[in-house]
Structure 1
C-alpha cells in the first residue's frame, strides 16, 4: 500500500513517469478535457456525479505525491457570460489547502484563453477530470523537484 494520500493507479503511473516542469491539469466539470489537452496527456475521469470529486480533493491527492513548483488558475475574463465580480470562492479553498500543508505557493492566474494554450503543450502529461461544479476551478500544476 502506498504511503501518500494518492492511491489511484493510473494517476500514480503517470506522475511516476513525469519529470520536472511536466504539467498536470486538474479540470473542473465544465472543462472540455477531451479537446483541450496536450498531445502527450493522459485523461483520467474522476467525475462520478456533480461535486464528486472536487478540484480541491484532487489537488490534495496530487500534492501528497509530487512536489509542485507553480500553480496556475484559469482567470475569469470580464466579458465572459460566466464571469464573477471577484476571485472564485474555490481559490480560497486552494489557499487553505496550501497553507495546511505548509506550502509557500501563490496561485498565479492565467487568462482563460491563454490557459487553454498553456495546457495544449507537449509538457502536459495528465488531466484529472473532476466533477467540480464551481466556476473557474481549473488548476494547472507544474511539477518541481525532490529536495530530500
Structure 2
C-alpha cells in the first residue's frame, strides 16, 4: 500500500499509467467490450465499474491539453434505443480535473482506435456504451 494511491488501481495498472507517454491512449472498457481481441496489453479490473476506475485514474493521470478532445466515448449506434446516463457521470468526474470537449466515436471506428491504444482495461461495468478513451497529457510542474 502507498499513501495517496487509490486502492482500486492495481500495481499492473499503475505501471502501465507510468509507462504511457504524451499522446498515448488507454481504454476503460465496459463488460461487453471485446477487450481481449483488441489489444496485446489487457488489464483486468473485474468486479469494478468504469466510474470508480475513471475517478481513480484521473486523480493521477493528466489529460492531454494539446488535444481538443482528449476524452472519447463510443457513440450509440443509430437506431439503437439505448439511454446513456453514465455519460453524465463521466462528464462530472472529468470536469473535476479539466474541462475538455468530449468526442463521440462511431462504434467500429472506436474498435479500430482501440487496437492502437496503449492498453485496454476490462471492467465489469454493466452500462451500455460505457467505454471511454483517455489521451495522456504532460505534467508541466
Tell me if TM exceeds 0.5.
yes
**What pairs with 1:45-124 in structure 2 (closer than 5 Å)?**
45-48=44-47, 53-69=48-64, 70-79=70-79, 83-84=80-81, 88-99=84-95, 101-121=96-116, 124=117
* Secondary structure in 1 matching 2:14: helix
Tell me, in whole angstroms, the C-alpha distance in 1 between the residues paired with 2:34 and 2:97. 32
The TM-score normalised by the length of structure 1 is 0.83
2:135 to 135, 142, 146: 142
RMSD, aligned α-carbons: 1.6
Tell me, in whole angstroms, the C-alpha distance in 1 between the residues paired with 2:24 and 2:51. 20
Tell me, in whole angstroms, the C-alpha distance in 2 between the residues paired with 1:25 and 1:33. 9
The TM-score normalised by the length of structure 2 is 0.87
Give the total of aligned pairs.
134
2:23 to 7, 21, 25: 21
Tell me, in whole angstroms, the C-alpha distance in 2 between the residues paired with 1:33 and 1:136. 14
* Contact 1:24-1:125 within 8 A present in 2 as well: yes
Shift of residue 4, structure 1, vs aligned partner: 3.5
Tell me, in whole angstroms, the C-alpha distance in 1 between the residues paired with 2:71 and 2:3. 25
Match of 1:5 in 2: 6
Alpha carbons of structure 1 residues 67 and 102: separation in structure 2 relative to 1, 3 Å = closer
* Contact 1:58-1:128 within 8 A present in 2 as well: no
Structure 1's unaligned 5+ residue stretches are none
- Residue-by-residue CA offset, 1:93-145 (whole Å, 9 max, x unaligned): 0011123x241122210000000011111xx2221111111010000111011
Shift of residue 2, structure 1, vs aligned partner: 4.1
Tell me, in whole angstroms, the C-alpha distance in 1 between the residues paired with 2:3 and 2:120. 21
Which consecutive aligned stretches of 4+ in structure 1 deviate over 6 angstroms post-superposition?
A: none
Structure 2's unaligned 5+ residue stretches are 65-69
* Contact 1:73-1:108 within 8 A present in 2 as well: yes
